[in-house]
Amino acid sequence: MDFDLVIRGGTIATAERSWRSEIGVRDGRIAELGSGLAGKRIVDAAGKLVLPGGIDSHCHIEQISSMGVMSADDFYSATVSAAHGGTTTVIPFCAQHRGDSLAGVLADYHERARAKAVIDYGFHMIIANPDEHTLAAGLPAAIGGGVRSFKIYMTYERMRLHDEQILEVMAVARERGALVMVHAENHGMISWLAGRMLKQGNTLPRYHAICHTRGSEAEAINRIVALAELMDCPILVVHVSTPAGIEAIRQARSRGLKVFGETCPQYLFLTAKDIDIGIHGAMFCCSPPPRDEAAQAACWAGLKDGALQVYSSDHAPYRMDASGKLPRGEKTTFKEMANGVPGLELRLPLLFTFGYQAGRLSLGEFVNLGSTAHAKIYGLYPRKGAIEIGSDADLAIWDSEKRVTIETTRDNTGYTPYKGRELTGWPVTVISRGDVIVENGRLDAERGRGKFLAREPCDALRPLGRDVPEMQQLKDWKTPLQP
C-alpha cells in the first residue's frame, strides 16, 4: 500500500541512535520505518540527516511583554521563521497581566494563533496575578485545557511575584500536575543598581548588562530551589546565563530535586561586549544579558553534563525603532527599551554548527537539546521529538555540508544578532505532520495549518513525594494547600 510520503536514502538520527532507514508517512504520522517503501510523494534524503523537527519551548509570539510592549512577530511570521530553521513545534506564552482573567487571556491567544500558525503549538501561561480566582479557577481550568506549564517572574515591576505568591502558584501546580517555569533574577539588586546608574546619566545599553548582575541570577535560583523544595514542586529555570546559576541547578539536581534548566543561543554566542557599542547595543539587550566567555563555557558544560536539559530561543522580537527597542529614539535609556532578541530561526542552525559540527555535542545530544528533551519535559513525547511509528511526522532533513553566511531571517525584527556568522549545515527540507512545508528555502504552508497541542501529564510534572520535615505538619494534605 502506498504511503502519502516516503523519505528515502537518509540517515535517521534521534536522541538515542542513528541508522539508515526509509520513513513511510500516512495521515500525518510515521507509519513505517523500513526499506523498499512506495509513496505518492518521495523525498530524496540521500547523503542527508533526517532528524525530529525542533521544538522551541521558550518563545514570545504576538505577546505583550513584561514591559507592556507588543512583540514584532505574530503567529504567522514567527512560525514561518521557526519552520525555516528546522523547528516544527513552538510553545509560546499566554501572558496574564495584572487585572486579566486567565480564561480571557487563554481564549485570546487561541484566537491569535488559530488562524496564523503554520506549525503546531502549545502554550505556557504567564502568571502575574495569582489572586484567589486565578488560583482556584483559572489555573485548574488552564491545566484542564492542556496548558501544563506556568511561567512566573521574580523580577520586572509589572510581573514579579513575591515568595508567598510563588508558593501559592507552586501549590496548585504540584497538586494538579503542572510545571513552574521561573525567570530567576533578584529584583532588588537590579532595580537598585539601575536607579543609581540612571541618576549618574549612565543610560546606554551597556548599563543594562551591568545592572543585571551575575549574582542576582544565582541568588534567585537558590531561592526558587528552596521554595520548590519546600513545596515539592517541579520547576524549570529558564534562560540560565551564569556559571553560579548553572552550578546552583547542578547542586539541586545532585540532591535529587526536580529542577530543570534551560539556556539559549544568546548565552552561548553573544557576550556583554556585543552590547557595548552605544545605543545600537539595544539589539543585543535581553534579560538576563549575555555575559562573558567564561559564562559561555559554563553554558556549554551545563548542556553537556546534564545540568541544563533544554536549549530554547527565548525569541522576544522587537524592532530597532519606536515600536520596540527605541521608544524615544537615540535618547532611549536602557530601562525603556524592550528586552529580548530574535532566535526562532537560527537557534538550531547555530547549535548544529557550533555544537555538533564543532565536536562539543554528539548528534544525539543535539537532537535531544533542541527537540526530544522539550517533548519529554513538556508532555509532548512521543507524539513530538521522536522518530517512531505513531509519532507525528515532524521532521527536519539536514544537509550537513551546506554552507550559509547569516544575512537575514524571516522574522519581523529586521535584524539578527548573528549576522555574518558562518554556518555549516542547514535544514533544507522541513516536514510538519507529513506536509513538506519548507524545501530549499521556499515555504509551502497555509496560514493556520498549525494545530494546538493540549499537553498530557508526564513524569517531569510529578512531585517527588518527598516532604521536608516542616511540611509533614500538612502531610496527607489534610490541610489544603490552597488558601
- Cβ proximity to Zn ion: between 183 and 319 the closer is 183
Site track for Zn ion across 168-187, x = CB under 5 A: ---------------x----
Name which of residues 325 to 384 contact ligand DUC (CB under 6 A): 339-340
Q: Which does 286 bind (CB under 5 to 8 A by kind): ligand DUC, Zn ion, none?
A: ligand DUC
Q: Minimum distance between the CB of residue 209 and Zn ion, rounded to whole angstroms?
A: 16
Q: Minimum distance between the CB of residue 209 and ligand DUC, rounded to whole angstroms?
A: 12
Cα 475–480–483 angle (5° rounding)? 135
- Cβ proximity to ligand DUC: between 157 and 459 the closer is 157
Contact 172, 135 (CB under 8 A): yes
Distances from the Cα of 454 to the Cαs of 46, 122, 148, 175, 378, in angstroms?
35, 6, 8, 19, 10
Exactly one of 11, 241, 271, 287 binds ligand DUC (CB under 6 A); that residue is 287
Looking at 149-292, list the stretches that DSSP marks H as alpha helix, in order from N- to C-terminal side.
163-176, 187-199, 205-211, 214-231, 243-254, 265-269, 272-275
Nearest-10 Cα torsion for 375, 379, 383, 387:
30
Q: Minimum distance between the CB of residue 60 and ligand DUC, rounded to whole angstroms?
A: 5
Name which of residues 306 to 325 contact ligand DUC (CB under 6 A): 314, 316
Total site size for Zn ion, rule CB under 5 A: 2
- What's the rounded Cα separation, in Å, for the pair 394 and 448? 17
- What's the rounded Cα separation, in Å, for the pair 182 and 262? 10
212 binds Zn ion (CB under 5 A): no
Site track for ligand DUC across 53-92, x = CB under 6 A: -------x--------------------------------
User: Which grid cell sits at 256?
Assistant: 535529587
- Cβ proximity to ligand DUC: between 314 and 435 the closer is 314
Phi, psi of 66 (to 5 degrees): -65, -15
> For residue 58, which of 165, 157, 186, 149 has the smallest C-alpha distance?
149
Q: Which does 116 bind (CB under 5 to 8 A by kind): Zn ion, ligand DUC, none?
A: none
Exactly one of 8, 124, 183, 208 binds ligand DUC (CB under 6 A); that residue is 183
Q: Minimum distance between the CB of residue 285 and ligand DUC, rounded to whole angstroms?
A: 7
Q: Minimum distance between the CB of residue 287 and ligand DUC, rounded to whole angstroms?
A: 4
Q: Minimum distance between the CB of residue 57 and Zn ion, rounded to whole angstroms?
A: 11
Q: Which residues contact 211 (CB under 8 A, 6 or more apart)?
A: 190, 193, 194, 197, 334
Contact 347, 370 (CB under 8 A): yes
Q: Minimum distance between the CB of residue 63 and ligand DUC, rounded to whole angstroms?
A: 9
CA 408 and chain centroid, separation: 21
Q: Minimum distance between the CB of residue 169 and Zn ion, rounded to whole angstroms?
A: 15
Exactly one of 73, 232, 314, 394 binds Zn ion (CB under 5 A); that residue is 314
Total site size for ligand DUC, rule CB under 6 A: 8
Q: Minimum distance between the CB of residue 199 and ligand DUC, rounded to whole angstroms?
A: 24
Beta bridge partners of 55: 89
User: Which grid cell sits at 400?
Assistant: 550537513
DSSP designation for 282: G
DSSP for 251-265 reads: HHHHTT--EEEEE-H
- Cβ proximity to ligand DUC: between 176 and 273 the closer is 273
Exactly one of 5, 268, 286, 393 binds ligand DUC (CB under 6 A); that residue is 286
Residues that bind Zn ion (CB under 5 A): 183, 314
Q: Which residues bind ligand DUC (CB under 6 A)?
A: 60, 183, 286-287, 314, 316, 339-340
